[in-house]
Amino acid sequence: MRKEQQMATGILEHVGGKENIRKIAHCMTRLRLTLKDDSKADIAALKKVEGVMGVVVDETLQVVIGPGTVNRVADEMSQLTGLGIGEESEPEYDSLTFEERAAIDNERRKEKNRTPFKNFLRRIGNIFIPLIPGLVASGIINGAANFAKNAGVDPTQTWMQILLLLGSSVFTYLAVIVGWNTAKEFGGTPVLGAIAGMFLFNPFLAEITIYGEPLVVGRGGLFGVIFAAFLMTFVEKNVRKVMPAAIDIIFTPLVTVLTVGFFSLYAIVPVAGLLADGITKGLIAVLDVGGVVAGAVLAGFFLPLVMVGLHHGLTPIHLELINTYGNTALLTVLAMAGAGQVGAAMAIFVKTKNRRLRNIIKGALPVGFLGIGEPLLYGVTLPLGRPFITACMGGALGGAFQAVMHTAATGIGVSGISLIPLIDDGKYLFYFLGLLIAYGGGFLFTYLFGFKEEMARDI
């Protein structure tokens, strides 16, 4: 039996066994145990377990083990008890009330019905839902400031510059936060996930040439960040298995960062970039065909791009269209995707009785109207599944209308209502009517067949 296994077994023996463990966690040096019955812990015997440096009795029982080793002992404890790190055990079933048993039975049924795709959506939701308060607050500020700028307010005024700074900060560093949450979701060290986000959005990328071309900052999008952060977690866990405990705290993160860093630059950024280029060129080809079909297809398939963060790759295309034609007809069409999502969220708000879901929608709708769609996307439509599709359908209706009306924007920025001042050739009303059509389409499709109350139970 390995040293860590012996320590985990010894600790478990003197805290009342696995049945007495409610929660397992750890910091850099201490194993933190939340017990169901503290009186069952034999502190004196715990201190005598080989490898234990000390025991601190606080809100949690803290067993001092030391850096490097504590991670492995926690993993062993997790395997012995069946509890994930940070996961809380269920109360004893027989001691529960009828209502509590019914809730647990319902949760077990949901667990059985969770498909790999549903679990994937749930993990995406777990990464982005904690960001919603920041996205909502920053989105409102950013949307209002951009609306004022588009309406003619001088953006060089100090108060406007401050508003633009406050509103754009979270979006500027979103990759870092997403990387942190991704690593946390998959059981890795959060700061290593954050570093993965920094790799893909560091301005110094432009100074590095790989495969004969300079790298493009942010080219991999949030999809690249999520994959790189997941890879950080995967590599970290596997390196830790073979790394001696005495040097684990130094060399495990070092090897992880170097390995994933080089792989990100040589594989993730170029591959995700090629994917983005292929998608954007395909979009332009569809736009060249023109007409109702083009508008519907472009708007209908835009939300999946936003989902993986590849929509940022369209910025150069918008700028090129503005440079060539004086406006971008692509932007007004794609803006309808977010409007379809707003309509879908409103339908869910009307139908659901789930208080948490209603609160998420209530907070995210204002910025959705202003063209910031991430809170609704990651907090509502994507985790629910089917409403994501009906939102795309509503956006397709609006996109078809914009294509027929030949609306275009003279600049880029946020979409939604905030884009109205930038609509070219005086077609403000047509653009606004397109928004209403997308709102209405998303609402009707979702209300009629896109949402059922049982979907809200997983939120």
Query: Which of the residues are catalytic?
Result: 27
- By the 10 Å C-beta count (0-12 exposed, 13-18 middle, 19+ buried), 341 is classed as buried
Distance, CA of 387 to CA of 442 (rounded, Å) = 9
Angle at 149 between CA 144 and CA 154, to 5 degrees: 130
Paired tokens of 215: 């790298």
165-174, long-range: CB < 8 A, 24+ apart: 166/138, 166/141, 167/138, 167/139, 167/140, 167/141, 167/142, 167/143, 168/138, 168/142, 169/138, 170/131, 170/134, 170/135, 170/138, 171/138, 171/142, 174/131, 174/222
- Going by C-alpha positions, the residue among 294, 402, 388 that lies closest to residue 341 is 388
Q: Where are the beta strands (DSSP E) in 2-86?
A: 21-26, 30-35, 54-57, 61-64
- The DSSP bridge partners found for residue 32 are 25, 62
Pairing of strands 61-64, 30-35: antiparallel
- Going by C-alpha positions, the residue among 67, 81, 75 that lies closest to residue 35 is 81
- The DSSP bridge partners found for residue 56 are 62
Gyration radius of the chain over CA positions: 26
Give Cα 428 to chain centroid, integer Å.
34
Under DSSP, the state recorded for 450 is I
Instruction: Assess contact for 343 and 299: CB atoms under 8 A.
Output: no
Helix spans in 151-244 (H): 158-172, 174-185, 190-201, 221-242
Cα-based distances in Å from 22 to 55, 154, 365, 417: 18, 58, 38, 49
Instruction: Assess contact for 18 and 80: CB atoms under 8 A.
Output: yes
Q: C-alpha dihedral over 152, 158, 163, 164, to 10 degrees?
A: 70
